[in-house]
Amino acid sequence: MISNLQTIICDKLNVLEKNIKIYPLSYCKIADIELQMVAINNIKNIAIYGKGLSFDAFEGNTVAEGFKLCPLIHTNRLALNKLLDYTCPQAFGKNISTFGAGDRLGLASPGHIRSISRSLAKPILAQQSKRELELTGRTYEDVLDSVSFAVFQEGYKDGFGADGDHLKEEAHIIDALNCGYTMITLDCSEKIGKGVEKLSSAEMENRYISIPADIRKRLEDKYLARTFNINGVQIKYTKLELIKNVLIYYEAICFIIFIYKKYLSPLKREKDFEISIDETESTTSEYGHLFVASEIIDAGVDVTSMAPKFIGEFQKGIDYIGNVADFEAQLGIHAAIADYFGYKLSIHSGSDKFSVFELIGDYTKGRLHLKTSGTNWLEAVGTIAERNPTLYRQIHKCAQKHFTEAKSFYDVSADISKVPDVDSVSDAFLKEYLTDTHSRQLLHITYGYILRDPEIRTSIYDTLNENEDLYIHRLETHIGRHLELVGLYNY
């Protein structure tokens, strides 16, 4: 059945004469008004028909009596949120699998929704670290705006989350929470003791003595002279093991408790709180993970998920590097600890880790948060390689120019001398750059520099808007492979 609104859109906008795309899944009728996403010359608007307060809350151009075209601006996102609950983010707690899929450009969420909505996991669609916001020139508000509009466009009603990712500073936590983010990932990397593992036992003991005696006594009484039985895994601290973990994690533990009590606990709404101890020099041992978890939970922190640093390398945009058997052994212990305390195990830099996804699915049994961030950017570049070779070549050259600089932000091992010269390959070859680990990393970490070039930035958005269906399809396939291997597809 053709809705009133669709008839009006066709009638008033002269669909046959203009480049107009109507998004059928977005259509909804609520009380006196009808809404639908429509793109005119690749620029999206919410077409709205009706009257009353809700209608008036949307800002736009009146095309005819009771019919407006409303641009995708912040005010209209707030109006949409008021009218349609499902366009607001929500928290999911400890027992529902979640899949973090940050969207660097603000164009990937429709593809993420189509893929993740077919799985047992809920999507965390808004997810940007402060570093990513700075590199892409975006804000928390703008990231959430794009996601809410995408949820509306897809008519997706099953809930999504918004993660203020890898936050280290109070001001950023306040910003994200004020914008309505439902999840905070606290990055403890700056509070984690450095160089501790290189110290001799005498040096460790020396440092340990500077911690107040009453704290030392409490910790020794709690952790020594007992064996922790963590779902079949026996963990026993020697004095030295305890000292080492106190030196590495005690400050981070105090920081987590402080942030939780000051900002998360007083919030009157549901929230997810993730602890990230993954961005450190050394891998997280079972002693470290258990120590952090036990201290913060005993202090009343409600942890939704914890991200330890795993053995091997979780580099951006490429498969796991390392010994899979060692990874499996460690994963088993971390999953057991997470399970014992009842929170989700979180895997960061989770994109493209195809050789370990099945293990991750087996051991976590779905009590999992899998966080990916830049893989949607690579799919965007892949779409451009297929549809706009000239632009791809510009992007590639810009990436090469800034690779060395970009490496200071990201841990990658790419050797770009192994990347074929972009001037010597045919247009048909360009998409192959997205299948090679060296060129994937080259394109992955330089996005900030590429997006800073205004001409390239505009062309990227234009090309992706013109080729939205291909971009959605690529994302659906790529993210779908992740979910299938982790065992989260329910059919």
Query: Applying CB under 5 A, which residues contact Zn ion?
Result: 276, 278, 348
d(CA 173, CA 306): 17
Residue 413 corresponds to which tokens in the numbers above? 């091992």
Residue 50 makes CB contacts below 8 A (sequence gap 6+) with 31, 32, 33, 34, 66
CB of 189 to Zn ion, least distance (A): 8
With H, G, I as helix, E, B as strand and everything else as coil, classify residue 400. Answer: helix
d(CA 441, CA 444): 5
Residue 433: closest CA among 477, 398, 399, 385: 385
In the bound state with Zn ion, the residue whose beta carbon lies nearer, of 172 and 348, is 348
CB of 172 to Zn ion, least distance (A): 15
CB of 309 to Zn ion, least distance (A): 8
CB of 416 to Zn ion, least distance (A): 24
In the bound state with Zn ion, the residue whose beta carbon lies nearer, of 101 and 246, is 101
In the bound state with Zn ion, the residue whose beta carbon lies nearer, of 276 and 383, is 276
Residue showing the smallest CB distance to Zn ion in the complex: 348
C-alpha 210: how far from chain center: 39
DSSP class of 321: B
d(CA 476, CA 26): 18
d(CA 55, CA 67): 9
Written as one string, the DSSP assignment of 401-461 is HHHHHHTTTS-----GGGSPPGGGS-GGGGGGGGGSHHHHHHHHHTHHHHHHSHHHHHHHH
d(CA 24, CA 44): 13
- Is 274 a catalytic site residue? yes
Q: Is 295 exposed, middle or buried (0-12, 13-18, 19+ CB in 10 A)?
A: buried
In the bound state with Zn ion, the residue whose beta carbon lies nearer, of 6 and 129, is 129
Q: Which residue among 274, 295, 379, 386 is the active-site one?
A: 274
- Is 165 a catalytic site residue? yes
Residue 126 corresponds to which tokens in the numbers above? 């808004």
Q: Which residue among 132, 142, 145, 165 is the active-site one?
A: 165
In the bound state with Zn ion, the residue whose beta carbon lies nearer, of 99 and 392, is 99
d(CA 391, CA 398): 11
d(CA 297, CA 5): 52
Which residues does the annotation mark as catalytic?
A: 165, 274
